[in-house]
Chain A
């Protein structure tokens, strides 16, 4: 979507699509979907780290986007709004009960990977770190994975979560502190 970097405004053609979408136009929605699906999918994948889940949540996100078309404000731009909805869809998914085995399958490093000596030790640390991270609350996990692992700007993370930049920093700090405690309980000292 053509959005002027200086003024932050969309070009007239894009504005037309955004206004039509706001009125529920399905063709305009498809145009917006085609323009933004890759960015939305990438954002979700960074949070959930599983391609199949990211695809499922991208569909969920666009379904929520269409459902909320009347509340969309074209002046605020589509991308940030879509990212916020995607983040909440990912949070809702993370809040659903999941078993330890599922977490292991998704998060743990590849067991087929060669490991010997120091490599085996670091593989164990990686696995324990990943599992300790999974034990954090979804809100802390999302803030930490986006800000620390994916190194997304704090401003973007704050906007996506609907909180302030300071609150993002607090969540990241709390996530790291809890992670350290969990690892220390397992005998790993960072």
Chain B
């Protein structure tokens, strides 16, 4: 693809998807929606935190001798 083709494609893209003008603003105040969302979904630890915890519990159950080593590295 040469420079001319690249510029032509960029121009076609800008024609097909006109740029957003100025500083757009949401049509409504979104703070109430954010608060509602925070109430609906209390912050939960990500799944890998739970997986890590499960792994550690499993390790402690099957290899109790690993507990002092783990505590040493805490």
Q: Which chain A residues lie closer than 8 Å to B20 at the CB level?
A: 42, 45-46, 49, 150
User: Would you call B9 and A33 a contact (CB within 8 A)?
Assistant: no
Point out the residues of chain A lying under 8 angstroms from B8, CB to CB.
190
Contact for B26 among A34, A54, A125, A179, CB less than 8 A: A54
A133 to B13, CA, bound (A): 8
Q: Are B24 and A176 in contact (CB under 8 A)?
A: no
A176 and B38 in contact, given A45-B20, A58-B26, A129-B16 (Cβ under 8 angstroms): no
Within 8 A of A (CB), among B19-45: 19-20, 23-28, 30-31, 33-34, 37-38, 41, 43
Chain A residues within 8 Å of B37, by CB: 59-60, 63
User: Please, how many angstroms separate the alpha-carbon atoms of A30 and B46 in the complex?
Assistant: 24
Cα A62 to Cα B13 in complex, Å, equals: 30
B: number of interface residues (CB 8 Å): 28
What A residues does B5 contact at CB under 8 A?
180, 190
Q: How far is the CA of A149 from the CA of B16 in the complex (A)?
A: 9
Is the CB–CB distance between A149 and B19 below 8 Å? yes
- Looking at B10, B26, B28, B43, the one whose CB has the most chain A CB atoms below 10 A away is B26
B25–A148 contact, CB under 8 A?
A: no
Q: Please give, as numbers and ranges, the residues of chain A lying within 8 Å of B12 by CB-CB distance.
A: 125-126, 129, 183, 190
The interface residues of chain B lying within 8 Å CB-to-CB of A109 are 16
Task: Determine which residue in B16, B37, B38 has the highest number of CB atoms from chain A within 10 A of its CB, and name it.
Answer: B16
Which residues of A118-146 have CB atoms within 8 Å of chain B's CB atoms?
122, 125-127, 129-130, 133, 144-145
Q: How many A-B residue pairs have CB under 8 A?
A: 100
Give A166 to B47 CA distance when docked, in angstroms: 33
How far, in Å, is A175 (CB) from chain B's closest CB? 9
The answer, yes or no, to whether A41 is at the interface (CB within 8 Å) is: yes
Cβ contacts under 8 Å, A129 to chain B:
12-13, 15-16
**How long is the Cα–Cα vector from A160 to B6 in the complex, in angstroms?**
24
Binding site for A on B (CB under 8 A): 1, 5-6, 8-10, 12-17, 19-20, 23-28, 30-31, 33-34, 37-38, 41, 43
Q: List 13 A-B contacts (CB under 8 A).
A: A30-B31, A51-B26, A55-B30, A60-B37, A125-B12, A126-B12, A133-B13, A133-B17, A145-B17, A173-B6, A176-B9, A176-B10, A179-B9
Which residues of A are interface residues toward B (Cβ below 8 A)?
A: 30, 33-34, 37-38, 41-42, 45-46, 49, 51, 54-55, 58-60, 62-63, 66-67, 107, 109, 122, 125-127, 129-130, 133, 144-145, 148-151, 173, 176-177, 179-180, 183, 190
